[in-house]
Structure 1
Amino acid sequence: MSKNQEAKATKGGYSLRRRLISACVALSIVLSPTAGLAAVRQFGDVSTVMPEYRPIMKLSAQGTIKGRGDGNFGPSDPVKQLEALVMVQRFFGMEATATAAASRLTPDMEKKFGGNVPAWGKGYLVTAVNQNLLDANEYFPWHQGATRAWVARLLVRLLNKEQEAQSRMNAPLTFADATLIPASLRGHIAVATDLGLIRGRENGCFDPNSIVTRGEMAIFLDRAERKMDRLPPGIDEATFISGRDAILSVLDEENRLSSLTLDANARIFGTERAVALSDLNPQDKIRYIQDGDKVVYLEVVQGSGQKANVLRGEVIASLPEQGLLTLKDDAGKPFTYSLATSVSVIDLAGQMLSTSHVGPGSKAQLRLNNEGKIAEILLESVGQQGLYGTIVDINLTAKLLILSDGANHYSSYYLADNTTVEYNGKRFASLEDLAKGDLVSVEVDGSYVVNKIILQKPKSTVTVKGTVSLISRDSRLVTIKGDDGQLYAFELPETTALQFSDGTSAAIENLYLQDTVTLQLENGTVKKLVIVRAGNTKGLTGKIASIDANRRLLIVKDARDRLQSYEINDPVILDIEGNTKPTISNLGIDTSIEFELNADNKITYIKSKNTIEGVVTRVDADRHLITLRDAAGTEKIYTVETNAECQIFRRSGEDLDDIDVDDRVKVRVSGDKINRIQVHTQLTGEIIDKTSERIYIKDIDNNERSYTVNSTLKLIVPNIIKPSLSDVTIRQWAVVSYWGDEPYQIAVQTPVAGEVTGVDTGRDKLVIRQYDGSSRTLEKASPFKVDKGGTTSYGLSAISIGDRIQAFTDEQNRIMRAFVASKVSGKIDGINRTTKDIYIGTTVGYHIDSNTIITLNGVRKNFDDIQQKQSATIYYTGGYNAIEVNLSN
């Protein structure tokens, strides 16, 4: 995550160190209220030999400062206090906040600030007080010149060093004119000079009462930026790798290989002077500013002469099964390298791809790790071979083909009249023989027109092989690391056939991390999962019938009362509840256990189980009996103690009479009797707040609850292997799962999103065409709420055909909460590439995230494809979060 991305992810109120909506804007002699990122300019009165040349070029590129309109910058012109205050806030992204705050400047406040404050500066005074740049009660003559001493205080407060400055009010100052420095600013000047923000004059004086010029202010802001813990909006940081033909290869702050395009008129600076692209060295730390998708300003902030371990050339052979890739360099010399375990592939647009896209003929850059293996691939162009994926949609009318690589990445291609289809070398009759879910490879020309489609596997026989990297048995979700190195997440329906490789049946409880598995999919649904190992080595259960600790023998009685003798391996792993240092002697007769065997059929692991999970098939409260069916389908009758504890979430005083058939339960067994029953329930609600450790959820009945996420309460976020609360956003919905009164899992929901194509108020049903092209019919739950246009309603009649919607479902897959998107259309007049916001006639940006659907004339696009002045229709929900953006030329 870049520093700007990190700032964007921070939740809460506005501050100088947090993400703000608007980009920086321009400041001239008469300050202009609106301006955006601009291409860097050359001013007639600013020469390359001036010390302020580079800072002025930076602020010009970022849009903070503009010229005077006559082609000059006016570097020697004095800066008023209000102008300096505005420059500081705009440089660090405060314009949107200040614009919104202008109405809060009361007449009394304005009078205190000198009166007759120009309209463009009113809001900046309010935000300056809120951000502690100005004291709430201080007199602020906005029209007076900004002295060096006053600007020193402004910059120190900007960097949150006020407390340090106060502690140094009596610090000795060595300047020749120290007696001229106001006592109230001595500490600020001490801190500012220590940080190098403002330096003394050559004659040994500080010159505290001298008015700062525009050129000096540019220098001071540039120095302050180097001391910030986050970069200002519009400025990004990377490590330079190589540059060629105006294409820069860089490593971002997460050490991922990426590319940047250099503008023809870009200003490039080394650590001390203006340089050419050829003067940059591999591993130089750089900061840059983009105008649109091109870099217009670049500076080296830390030089390095190290050699980058990067190769560039044409792929001539790709052997993913052997983990090898052969590259031919510009001189024609071939090099073959092994792929690292977690190799990543990215194209010039920043889209993550799979290694299947790197085929013969592709132009690529390879970054090697310390072991000499390929860690990252930057795909500059795609060869005719090697484009693989599953058909998401094939539209013969629009002549469009959309493929998915199985990791939520999509590619779009045009079909030609002469596009051919082959399977095992044979021609199909036509394109009509292809279907959604087919696994295909395609050959394309440079304009993404498909010349040939080769059907690899029909949809009914798509197979995925790999190892298990994550399991959620309660939600029946399994994440597989495929043999191609990619991660795939699948839901296992109850109808999925699970078995071991020896043909014996299995259950999800028999699935373990690092198991090798093969999945067979049909229309995207897992129909069969085969665990590649024998069915009698792990996950075995039974009850101890006899134990001989000296001879290390154990006799176990299985669910069918059959006895089996096992030798206990030395050593053996013991997991006995309530025992920190367990031994074999701690095991008792009739104890329920789970155990594993090694290849010699010896027990290597024993877990003492006093809890059992199952589904209730019969309840006899009068006789204190309950019948449970376990995961293997075996039913058993248990006696329930008279005073057994029964727990059902949101119920009190529960007993055996409150347990129903088909309830999923977890019971604690002592001997042959149950002394506790916990019923499985779920709560669905909206995430309304969060902290670093807690999450706050409001259910459909407006009841608010908070949860601490820790080792006993697991968090699940779609497509994230090890999620934290930083991966959760407000207004998402989640399902909280309980055993009795104890929550054990919070699973964030992926909303059902798309266009409403049918509303049946009579049968309480809603039809949504999802963004993947499929349709889904949802029944309305009770209670039900829908937000539309700022109004909350309780029936489907508030929803119309054509609405774009985000819907959340309960555990029965019924729609219980819906948000209908608002709509805005017009010309895009602003784009913030850093925060991924686009603007249409407002100072508020419509935010684009990874779930936003972007299309141009019906073809799927990425955020980087959005351009200024394009016509756009945006569908957005609360917080100006765009769910769909339709572009047109």
Structure 2
Amino acid sequence: MKGRRILSLALAVLTAVSLLTVSASAAGFSDMVGHWARDDVEYLAAQGVVKGTSATTFAPDQKMTACEALLFCSRAAGVSEEDKAAIAADWADELAELLPDSLYSWAAEEMAVCLETGILSVTELRALSADDGLLKTISRESLAMYLVRAMQLDAMAKNLSTYPMDFADTSSISAALQPYVYLLDTYGIVRGNEANCFLPKSSLTRAEMATMLRRAMDFMEERGLYAELPAYTDYDWVGGTITQAAEDGAGGISLTLTSTITGTQTVTLPAGVTIYENNMRASAEPLSLLQTGTYARVNLDGNGSVLSVRLGGAVTAYTGTVTDIEPGSVTLDVNGVSRRLEIDRFTAIQADGVSIPAQVLSNQGGYTTAACQVDAMGHLAALQLSSGGRTEEGILRAVDGRSGSQTLTVTAFDGGEARYTLPSGTAVTVDGVAGSMSDRYEGCYVNLRVSNDSEGRLTAVSVDTGTQYLQGTVQTVVTNPQNGLALTDMVSGRNTAYLLTDQAAVRYNGKTARLSDVPAGAFATLRLSNGYVTWMDAYPGAANTVKGVLDAISYGDVITLRVRTDGGETASVTADAAAPPTVTRDGQAGSLESLRTGDTVVLTLQGGRVTAVEAQAQSITVTGTVTRTARRGGTVTLDVRLSDGSAVTYEVDSAAPATRDGRSIDAEELNADDWVELVVHNGVVESITAYEDAGRNTRLEGTVLETDTRDETLRVRLSDGGTLTVDVSGASFLTADGGSTSLRRLSKDDRVQLFGDYSGNRFVATLVILL
């Protein structure tokens, strides 16, 4: 888990400038004598912000590569050396895949800072790395975008509706990059040449970059700009929409905030409190800034005293269908438009009415709808998730009412134990009649409706007192002359023999089975009538170690891990949430939240509980087009032409879920030309997401020239050289590796694949894939 450290708000004086104390004259670059940029270069070199090409030369007229420009920008973000090292460690694995080996050893740390601070995205870095773009010269207009992001002004650029400039070549600046150039021009960081030209497509020299960088850093110091990194801070905060701000009579301000999740809170701001607007330290009177309807986050120290206030502007609400939840993001469909929103520790989260931490969010939660509040800075301020909940069943072991609300301990049929909170007023039925929960029902069968959140709240409980159930470990099984078994009762510890009726139903590991299929040591639940077994459900018993593939994790006071063993069986084991097991994943220390469905795991158990987990990531996601489906014996196979043009055949797991255009289907129903995203584990498909329209409609490929998020259109240069306006208002957006993206995340020169149909001269896309 990422470390949490206090990031002092005093970083308005940039860390990159203040850490080193070497004098400017110590740089002594021989090729800077008499050069117009000498002061800027030697000043930044003395601070360790820029470096020479050798011990005595700077090469001021050498063209900047994209990699050099990004590394220079990373040093402007104000990240401390301690945080930089932690960021590099957290991004190490991903950067090892994204960066060429020739760059990784010396560029990885600062490139990690670029990714963490938003200077560039993973998709952008992947595109740059793919065609050696990092080693190519960078244009002045592209540098403008990266530098504005480094200055933490990206949100301001995106919110601009007009950006007039008087450069003689303004019309040559790419439309998508004009807001960035405008901001740098407005704040005096870039200037035109003697002919008042910006030269957007031209490369820039190391000297020009150094001069722009110093101006940017001076501006950031003056305005208090720095990269506030949520994952690397640990100070307390409160947030919400301002409903009232008034002087408190003692020189301070009484600020009232309202949140859909945390309710209404009032905070007293001291006189002279620092307020940030657009990430910049504001100089206006506080009351003129604290306007009703503006989102505000108040940062607090360990004693609850106010450190600063950060304003996010007006809040926009989105409600839609949840399509994906990943660590750090949620993707939802809002009226046919896919929106991916980043989640950080400054996002207030509520799931089925209960506030929860972001670490427990996953697709396993079954969340179906989301209500989001996004401030004008593009930050997800509040996220409310809801679902229909899930059904659990088992044998009631204990009812604890000492803590106020009741807590039920239930042993599931697979032997896993879980505890659930029973809120006051929850509907409880006993033998079909409304009633209340009591410890008299311990040992009875219960059917539970459970909310999908970390609290495991019960929304409904049904108790069956008229049927006798037993649970325990199978000692022996006999099938001649009559089916029977010996069971050690998990409550009493007694070993007792039972006979099965002729019509008794037997299940083992979730499937219909014969009694002879049940091995000694299995955990079994028996339903009895007149002393005979009429129903039996058994699962593999827990050993000292469990090896296999992780199928699911469910959270609560007791954490349950379900593992598909190498023999194809399913084992369910538990861990104590108060003393969670140690976890390593791919050799790195982690936590339960770092595990992923599909990981190969080795679980160590002591006293029936998991104490250690060793995990290896195994599943991969591939995308392509179906060319043929076939059934061979009991197995469905898919022939797929992958996105890279290669052809491959996969077997499909019989339990693999499959959807086409959001509807559940059988794998055999896939059609040739369906576009698919496959989760593959050890060569076997475990999940299928298909799009029929993508395969059957017109398919085009080209390069993005311009994006328009207001009209929801793309201008694309097609592979044949022609240009086309594309209506993407109803399109889904995906990356080539199957991830979600959006129109806002597309940039000029991105390669895209388009699926859809023509409507007159306009192409209406149903799916856009970022290649």
Note whether the superposition's TM-score is higher than 0.5: no
| Bigger Cα Rg | 1
TM-score by length of 2: 0.26
Q: Which is richer in helix?
A: 2
Return the TM-score normalized by structure 1: 0.23
